[in-house]
Amino acid sequence: MHLRKFGVSILGAILLAISSVTVADETCMSPYMAKIVGQEDYVYVWTLGVEGLGDEQDKLVTIDVNPKSKTYAKVVSVLSVGGRNEAHHSGLSDDRHYLWAGGLDSNKIFIFDVHSNPRKPTLHKVITDFVEKTGGIVGPHTFYALPGRIMVSGLSNNKDNGGRTGLAEYNSKGEFIATHWLPTDGDLRGAKKEGQFADGYGYDVRVQPRRNVMLTSSFTGWSNYMMDFGQMLQDGEAMKRFGNTMVVWDLHTRKPKKVIDVPGAPLEIRCAWGANNNYCFTTTALTSKIWLIYEDDNGEWQGKAVADIGDASKVPLPVDISITADDKGLWVDTFMDGKARYFDITDPFNPVQKFEEQIGSQVNMISQSWDGKRAYFSTSLLGNWDKTGEADEQWVKLYAWDEDKLSLTHKWTIDFYKEKLGRAHQMRFGAYSLYSSKNQNKGKDITLLDK
């Protein structure tokens, strides 16, 4: 009886007012996040200040990327933060009102308000006690939105500046909640060690909520990522200090369940979007491979190397990756040769490279629109790891991607050195249609949210 009435109540509501509802996003963002449908209006570029260039400070650079705008492909806002912090990654809150951006050296976290005026962000708050609050995590790296919270993955610690680290959980107001240390041989924290390693290193964090799974990857600590790249390559001891693991976590309880061997510094993690695609990809920086992290038929999560990226002996150094919305394609940027490679991952166990093109002398990040037709590239890896001399190009480029023809068409470049901005690193999208406004939504693609 009551079930029937409940059903009628819902049905009545639907018949009263039906609105078209859809969900989309750039393909690498948290599934918890509000989504952009169609054309993004702005790209926010977290940019490293460079000594002797412009104001020398780290800054959030806002680029107008809406082709209908009079200032299309122009920098429309520059917000400097008062120093250099080794600006690196950034991430949006689940409501996309705020952009969190970290400094790997200063350990500061800058929280920008990008909703009050998406064209001109403001600095909302600076977290300056990250190391103290977290009990010693150093190097705030990934900022990943959970409902009402942000999970921050660390790269290092304040005891030995090595790679042992943890995850720091904050609420959406920027207040610390908890630290979750990565499992080590000395303290597995209840996790099962599958292979040789339990190094406790960290880098990226991603989730597959429908499987209650959180994954972390592993890079290297402060003593390496702040060292000169050439010097580090010659330092045998330093080269031993890279992560060789990924950790499978229980997302709900935040407890580590399993440590999987993934040798050679697994970096970015991208999880499939499809409702039955229980897997994620990563690439290993030092061994130049694509790894599949997947749930097997018994419900166990496993890791498997599934493809080579270029010639590993030439150390192409895979950096950022980006999965397409239909889980059929994976972009892989390789820093050393400045190339973007596109893999067909229709069979996730057998990725096949379909395309490659040199984007510049060096390339790091890629951000693609949900429909995959626009791919933005940027250059900087780390202040001390970027190339030097003429090879040290710093820019943001937009390409149009035609998947049928397998072709990238260059649309524009903004030269970050010529504009006296600095080294261009992580790019995030903004759109007016994300926010409720009497004026801003007129004539825009309405953005609907994750419901």
Partner 1 sequence: MKLMKYILIMFVVISFTQKISYADNDIKKEREKIKNERNSLAIGWRDNLGYELPKPGSYDLYNIRISGDGKIIDENGKENTLHNLMDGKITLLSFIYSNCTDTNGCPLATSVFYKIQEKIKKDNKLLSSLKMISLSFDPEYDTPQIMSLYGKDLSYIKANWDFLTTSSLENLDPILKSYDQPVIRKYNEDGSYDGVESHLLRVFLIDDKKLIRNVYNVDFLHPDLLINDIKTLLLSNE
Query: Which residues from 374-433 bind partner 1, rule CB under 8 A?
Result: none
The rounded distance, in Å, linking the Cα atoms of 276 and 327 is 11
178 forms part of the interface with partner 1 (CB under 8 A)? yes
97 forms part of the interface with partner 1 (CB under 8 A)? yes
Instruction: Record the tokens describing residue 130, joined without a space.
Output: 């990250």
Helix (H) / strand (E) element for 46: namely strand 42-48
349 forms part of the interface with partner 1 (CB under 8 A)? no
Using CB under 8 A, pick the residue from 28, 29, 36, 37 that binds partner 1.
37
Q: How far is the CB of 25 from partner 1 (least distance, A)?
A: 9
Q: How far is the CB of 23 from partner 1 (least distance, A)?
A: 5
Q: By CB under 8 A, which span of 43-51, 90-98, 125-133, 218-226 interacts with partner 1? A: 90-98
Using CB under 8 A, pick the residue from 253, 350, 358, 409 that binds partner 1.
253
254 forms part of the interface with partner 1 (CB under 8 A)? yes
The rounded distance, in Å, linking the Cα atoms of 293 and 260 is 9
CA angle 449, 110, 394 (to 5 degrees): 90
230 forms part of the interface with partner 1 (CB under 8 A)? no
Nearer to partner 1, 18 or 390 (CB): 18
Q: Which residues of 311-321 are buried (b: 16+ CB within 10 A; e: fewer)?
A: eeeebbbbbbb
Whole-angstrom CA distances from 143 to 267, 278, 331, 393 are 14, 22, 21, 26
Using CB under 8 A, pick the residue from 58, 64, 94, 386 that binds partner 1.
94
67 forms part of the interface with partner 1 (CB under 8 A)? no
435 forms part of the interface with partner 1 (CB under 8 A)? yes
Using CB under 8 A, pick the residue from 119, 125, 189, 255 that binds partner 1.
255
Q: By CB under 8 A, which span of 47-55, 142-150, 155-163, 229-237 interacts with partner 1? A: 142-150
Q: Which residue type is seen at 229?
A: F
Q: How far is the CB of 37 from partner 1 (least distance, A)?
A: 6
Which burial class, exposed, middle or buried, applies to 295 when counting CB atoms under 10 A from its CB (0-12, 13-18, 19+)? middle
3-state SS assignment for residue 185? coil
Q: How far is the CB of 4 from partner 1 (least distance, A)?
A: 5
Nearer to partner 1, 214 or 421 (CB): 214
Scanning residues 98 to 127, which ones bind partner 1 (CB under 8 A)?
none
Please, which residues bridge with residue 118 across strands? none
The rounded distance, in Å, linking the Cα atoms of 278 and 62 is 35
Instruction: Record the tokens describing residue 190, joined without a space.
Output: 């209840």
Nearest to 133 by CA among 82, 169, 95, 183: 169
Size of the site for partner 1 (CB under 8 A): 73
Nearer to partner 1, 16 or 390 (CB): 16
Using CB under 8 A, pick the residue from 59, 149, 270, 423 that binds partner 1.
149
Nearest to 232 by CA among 86, 309, 392, 241: 241
Nearer to partner 1, 83 or 274 (CB): 274
Scanning residues 198 to 227, which ones bind partner 1 (CB under 8 A)?
209-212
The rounded distance, in Å, linking the Cα atoms of 22 and 446 is 10
CA angle 290, 222, 420 (to 5 degrees): 85
315 forms part of the interface with partner 1 (CB under 8 A)? no
Using CB under 8 A, pick the residue from 90, 156, 165, 172 that binds partner 1.
172
- Residue that the structure tokens 């859809």 belong to: 22
Please, which residues bridge with residue 193 across strands? 259
Q: By CB under 8 A, which span of 36-44, 354-362, 379-387, 417-425 interacts with partner 1? A: 36-44
Nearer to partner 1, 115 or 289 (CB): 115
The rounded distance, in Å, linking the Cα atoms of 208 and 6 is 31
Using CB under 8 A, pick the residue from 275, 297, 404, 443 that binds partner 1.
275
6 forms part of the interface with partner 1 (CB under 8 A)? yes
Please, which residues bridge with residue 166 across strands? 181
Instruction: Record the tokens describing residue 123, joined without a space.
Output: 């600095």
Q: By CB under 8 A, which span of 57-65, 269-277, 309-317, 329-337 interacts with partner 1? A: 269-277
Q: How far is the CB of 282 from partner 1 (least distance, A)?
A: 22
The rounded distance, in Å, linking the Cα atoms of 439 and 117 is 12
277 forms part of the interface with partner 1 (CB under 8 A)? no
